Chain A
Amino acid sequence: MTATRARAGFAVDQKLILIGLLLVINVFFSLASPHFFAVSNYFNILKSCAMIVITGAGATLLMMTGNFDLSAGSNVALTGVVYALLAQAGVPLFAAGCIALAGGTAFGLINGSLVGWLNVPPFIASLGMMYIGRGLALVVSDGSVIVDRIPPSMLRIYQGTLLGMPYLAWFIVFFVAVFMVIQRRTLLGKHALATGGNRNAAFFSGINTGRIVFVLYVIVGALAAFSGILTAARSGAGDPRSGNQFEFDVILAIMLGGTRLQGGKGSVIGTLLGALVVAVLDNGLNMLNVLTFWQSIVKGAILVMAILLNEKVMAGARKRGLARASA
């Protein structure tokens, strides 16, 4: 039967494009810049996109249900500030981290309740929370960077390494793995896909779609909070202005990875690849000492190209009868 083949083919193709794209730009940069092709630099790249991947891993599942979270960036800032404030107040870092995490999770909880239970459109709910969160971050920090009396050990999460690999890289591996499993092997993953694929079907199968969405928002909130802690750890300070436009980088990575805004099929790996493409571009372009304004233009071009190729693949998949060919 063609069906199974079609499915496999589809999945592979789409990843292949990103992988191919990655290879090409990697080769290009390696040739163009003497400093690019080095383990340490790849660690830099991983570090620079760690937060995006970590949050994106969960957000991918959320987008598979047809929802998204614009408040992630504000959550990052708020959590970071709270974390720093607690640390400043002398709370042991671990405890402070837990409290901050709880706070960020609560943030996701509100998002989840608004969208999952009260049926507020995700755009409005999370955009509103984006403003509120940003505002709160500025209020609690009184708009200034929280840095005095912060124990230097805070930096360790960001700068430390394990077996020669930065913690952040390990985190990427860990979270991507976890959420791959969740996506492929768990009820949550299946039901998320069902919710986005055909809400009625999910509903009639007795799946509580509201709860799925709610849970995923909470998860994304927690992940964003964790990213917030990492952000604070990066500078050893809580900056209420950090994580600005973070949510876009996340959504961009997810969509590059081939997950549709409308929900349905999606893949965590795709998100990882998408984030890497952007990160490698940023890093490489800086290596080539390209003027920042050109960088943004090139970035735009590459984005469109990647999506175009995705579309082509989708179309191909459709031709092979994956989706119902409609006029």
Chain B
Amino acid sequence: MTAMVSSAGRRRSMDVQKIILLAILVGIFVFLSLAAPNFFAIRNFTNILMQVSVIVMIASAANLLMITGNFDLSVGSVLAFCAIMHAYLTKQGMPIWASILACVAIAALWGVFNGVMVGVLNVTPVIATIATMYAARGFAYLIARWDGGANITAGLPQNFAEFGRTMLFGQVPIIILFMVVVFAVFFFIERKTPLGRFSYAIGGNLSAARLSGINVVGVIVALYVLVGALAGLCGIIQVSRVGAAFPNLGQGLEFDVIVAIVLGGTSMMGGEGSLVGMLLGALVVGLAANGLNLFGVQYFYQTITYGVILIGAVLIDLAVHRKA
């Protein structure tokens, strides 16, 4: 019950949790390959990766953020906002590269906004990011409206739409490449850079971090900016994949992200967690969804399964600890 025991226990749990997730993953995998039609096919694996890619990309940054003990509920809205913004700008004839830069910059600004509210003004992350969530979504719809509709679909440069669906070597959708790159970058950040180290420190003991002269505010703002920027980037990628921009893009994304992270063993209190765990978590969810769709199961049952997996994974984890 003292700090020592519990924290020690949690550290051990990290790896255990990863193993459990891996087990679950393999379990679902084997089951589906046996039971589900056309599950076991290269194209389906790229398909699954493609579907978790957005989540993984954003969660890569959000994972570090949660390690500091904060989180961001506004990613979905920021994604939508940038999607619309990008569509709007390109439609007005702005060159694509310029528009991409502009939108990512704006997304980063949303991040700054979150970071300042949380880091400087000490607004609790829930409220701060929910507020941003409302605001960004609202503006997304407004921009679409100013453009004269509920969404921006017509008038986008077509070649850009094609770009998002490019297949590398005719096999791998380009978005998977993006995912791998982003994941690698953050894996590197987590292990190799002061930013990563400081995130653990801040989550582990805020006041010690302050007294050690770590620039707490800087780190938190930086992470919020990274999350925001990635959300924006994903928004642009989605536009290019879907071939149109809708303000309701990325609805509920914030949850998929947090679920992936938490399933991966990052505690919401911060101080511990790992990118690999997050990836496993995301894959578990993605795999389950894919399988259920292959079976053509009504989404009623899909939601139930989602919940069962969530609770089940944690329960197994706890059960294992009771023994250990």
Q: Which residues of A contact B (CB under 8 A)?
A: 114, 118-121, 123-125, 127-136, 138-139, 143, 200, 203, 248, 251-252, 255-256, 260-261, 291-297, 299-301, 303-304, 307-308, 311, 326-327
Contact = CB atoms under 8 A, between A and B. Distances in A.
Interface residues of B, number: 46
B207 A129 contact: no
A118 B304 contact: no
Interface in B138-155: 138-139, 141-142, 145
Interface string B206-231: 01001100000000000000000000
Interface in B246-304: 255, 258-259, 262, 267-268, 298-304
Given A135-B304, A326-B207, A308 B123 contact: yes
Chain A residues touching B, majority SS: helix
B318 A139 contact: no
22 contacts: A120-B315, A120-B318, A121-B262, A124-B314, A127-B259, A131-B306, A135-B300, A135-B303, A139-B300, A139-B304, A252-B127, A256-B127, A261-B126, A293-B139, A293-B145, A295-B138, A296-B135, A300-B132, A303-B127, A307-B127, A308-B121, A311-B121
Contacts of B145: 291, 293
A128 B123 contact: no
Interface string B102-136: 00000000000000010001111011101111110
B318 A123 contact: no
Nearest to B133: A300
A296 B141 CA distance: 11
Contacts of B133: 300
Interface in B185-239: 207, 210-211
Closest 7 CB pairs of A and B: A131-B307, A135-B304, A300-B134, A132-B307, A300-B131, A128-B311, A135-B303
Given A138-B300, A297-B138, A311-B121, 6 more contacts: A120-B314, A124-B262, A139-B304, A252-B127, A300-B138, A303-B131
Report which residue of A129, A297, A326 has the largest number of chain B beta carbons within 10 angstroms of its beta carbon: A297
B324 interface: no
